[in-house]
């Protein structure tokens, strides 16, 4: 076989937040002259995942596709009914079963790049095949360090309950309020999947991350210089992952956006997995209206897209739509977020801080009003604020913890849209992000060296 062309298998786990960075990585590897095999689970949780996989494969016919049938799990665990968490656990438990499907790859694989949620099972397979497994972590280094430390944290209950902060030796302490609530419950499938795979991290060859050197400089250097979490393999920042062509949406907003002044529109969207309560949606609606800014708002009421059938007018009312029809647009459908963020009319981004969204905003230098909802999002919001890309109000809590009132929302949106310092800091972040991925940039060097090391 041609050893100058590495063959890499990519194995993402459930949810668009995990799929999107893997698709971007796949297209980046192709542009570096690698062969790529994409492993996806036979059934995806959301429709968005399956349509994006089909579209991506149809536009990249050179990619080999393996569909992995995840054995169904007994619904024994009652700690959650979140289908994404259930799928994480099922995939995590059965990841080692991928062995026969990839052992016969032709040409043979040079490496596997796998999601953290399948790291443990994939490590075993990689050892058997005599190839390295790199974990692709789809979050901030800040949150990764918490996951890496979780086995120690959960072995000593006092560490999680005794104080207002979590101290990971060598790193800035994390406020307890940023620890995702499931981590306090060892029986939660999210916690279980993270725990077993975090233990496997030291045995991976490296951790590829969608971030860049100067976005999280302190955490990165503490880990890579072995001052913290010294058992981890090198963290390899290769982001912001280049935007690749994803499936186009209907683009109904485009003619409208094209008619708005530069940097005048607030773009509001909370990722693919947040279901906001109807009361919270109403407060957000009124806060948006009171702010008097132009807005593009993408609304969701269910965790899984195919369950989201509610009528827009029933949710927010005809009169609101009528009153704001000249300065706002509300959509209840999948939109192409990366393209919208690139539109010159967008001036601010109200977002949950899923890590892909943070990196997409960083790449464009768009200021963010962070409104974290679940999981890693509060830890991500801390990073974003420290980097100068955004602002947030920590008292807003987790999704559903309390009702955030319209006046609070209005105030923060005004701050987002008028703070000139924030705007210029965010622009600077954008320049640094583009420098990192440009020729000679840190992220570009890191991915190039990683690929080089796989050529023998
Ligand atoms: Br919703 C939505 N269009 O309508 P995150 C999302 N996206 O392009 P999440 C769209 O999906 P996790 C839409 O640009 C980003 O690349 C968005 O990932 C895109 O959040 C991705 O931002 C969503 O990481 O995932 O979906 O909550 O919880 O896993 O972080």
Residues catalogued as catalytic? 18, 115
Query: What was the ipTM of the complex prediction?
Result: 0.98
| Partners of 92 in beta bridges | none
Handedness of CA 40, 46, 49, 52 (dihedral sign): positive
Q: How many residues in total does the chain contain?
A: 456
- Ligand 1 atom nearest to 337, measured from its CA: 8
| 191/186 Cα distance (integer angstroms) | 6
Give 195-252 pLDDT, tens digit per residue: 999 999 999 999 999 999 999 999 999 999 999 999 999 999 999 998 777 777 778 8
| 430/366 Cα distance (integer angstroms) | 8
Contact predicate 337/270, CB 8 Å: no
Contact predicate 216/142, CB 8 Å: yes
Q: Is the pLDDT of residue 135 over 80?
A: yes
Q: Report CA(453)–ligand 1 centroid distance (Å).
A: 31
Closest-CA residue, ligand 1 atom 25, reads 17
pLDDT at 107: 94
For the residues 58-80, what does the mean pLDDT come to?
83
pLDDT at 2: 60
| 206/208 Cα distance (integer angstroms) | 6
Q: Report CA(447)–ligand 1 centroid distance (Å).
A: 23
Q: Is the pLDDT of residue 402 over 80?
A: yes
Give 138-187 pLDDT, tens digit per residue: 999 999 999 999 999 988 777 777 788 999 999 999 999 999 999 998 88
Percentage of the chain exceeding pLDDT 70: 98
Q: Report CA(368)–ligand 1 centroid distance (Å).
A: 15
Phi, psi of 422 (to 5 degrees): -60, -45
Instruction: Give alpha helix (H) positions in 348-419.
Output: 355-364, 377-387, 406-418
Mutate to test the pocket of ligand 1, among 49, 267, 296, 354 (most ligand atoms within 8 A of CB): 354
pLDDT at 368: 98
Give 290-326 pLDDT, tens digit per residue: 999 999 999 987 777 777 778 888 889 899 999 999 9
Give 70-125 pLDDT, tens digit per residue: 887 776 666 778 888 888 888 888 888 899 999 999 999 999 999 999 999 999 99
Q: Pocket residues for ligand 1 (CB within 6 Å)?
A: 15-18, 20, 269, 271-273, 298, 334-338, 354-357, 360, 375
Instruction: Give alpha helix (H) positions in 36-82.
Output: 47-59
List all residues 6 or more positions away from 445 whose beta carbon is below 8 Å from its beta carbon.
Answer: none
């Amino acid at each position: 076989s041609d050893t100058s062309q590495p063959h890499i298998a990519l194995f993402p786990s459930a949810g668009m937040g995990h799929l999107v960075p893997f698709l971007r990585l796949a297209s980046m590897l192709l542009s570096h002259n690698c062969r790529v095999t994409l492993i996806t689970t036979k059934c995806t949780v959301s429709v968005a995942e399956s349509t994006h996989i089909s579209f991506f494969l149809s536009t990249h016919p050179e990619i080999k596709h393996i569909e992995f049938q995840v054995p169904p799990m007994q619904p024994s665990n009652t700690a959650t009914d979140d289908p994404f968490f259930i799928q994480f656990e099922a995939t995590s438990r059965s990841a080692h079963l991928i062995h026969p499907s990839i052992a016969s790859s032709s040409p043979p694989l040079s490496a596997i790049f796998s999601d953290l949620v399948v790291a443990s099972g994939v490590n075993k397979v990689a050892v058997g095949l005599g190839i390295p497994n790199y974990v692709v972590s789809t979050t901030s280094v800040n949150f990764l360090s918490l996951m890496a430390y979780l086995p120690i944290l959960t072995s000593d209950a006092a560490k999680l309950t005794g104080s207002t902060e979590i101290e990971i030796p060598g790193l800035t302490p994390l406020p307890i309020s940023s620890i995702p609530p499931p981590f306090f419950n060892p029986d939660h499938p999210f916690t279980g999947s993270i725990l077993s795979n975090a233990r496997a991290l030291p045995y991976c060859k490296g951790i590829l991350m969608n971030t860049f050197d100067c976005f999280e400089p302190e955490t990165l250097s503490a880990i890579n210089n072995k001052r913290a979490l010294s058992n981890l393999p090198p963290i390899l920042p290769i982001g912001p992952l280049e935007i690749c062509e994803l499936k186009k949406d209907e683009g109904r907003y485009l003619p409208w956006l094209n008619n708005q002044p530069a940097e005048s529109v607030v773009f509001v969207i909370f990722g693919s997995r947040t279901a906001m309560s109807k009361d919270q949606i109403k407060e957000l609606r009124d806060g948006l209206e009171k702010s008097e800014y132009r807005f593009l708002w993408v609304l969701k009421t269910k965790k899984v897209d195919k369950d989201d059938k509610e009528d827009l007018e029933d949710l927010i009312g005809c009169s609101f739509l009528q009153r704001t029809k000249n300065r706002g647009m509300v959509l209840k459908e999948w939109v192409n977020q990366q393209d919208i963020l690139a539109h010159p009319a967008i001036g601010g981004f109200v977002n949950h801080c899923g890590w892909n969204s943070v990196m997409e905003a960083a790449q464009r230098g768009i200021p963010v009003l962070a409104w974290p909802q679940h999981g890693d999002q509060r830890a991500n919001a801390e990073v974003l604020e420290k980097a100068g890309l955004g602002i947030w109000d920590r008292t807003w809590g987790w999704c559903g913890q309390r009702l955030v009132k319209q006046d609070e929302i209005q105030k923060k949106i005004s701050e987002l849209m008028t703070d000139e310092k924030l705007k210029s800091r965010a622009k600077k972040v954008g320049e640094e992000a583009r420098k990192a991925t440009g020729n000679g940039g840190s992220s570009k060097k890191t991915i190039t060296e990683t690929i080089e090391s796989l050529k023998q």
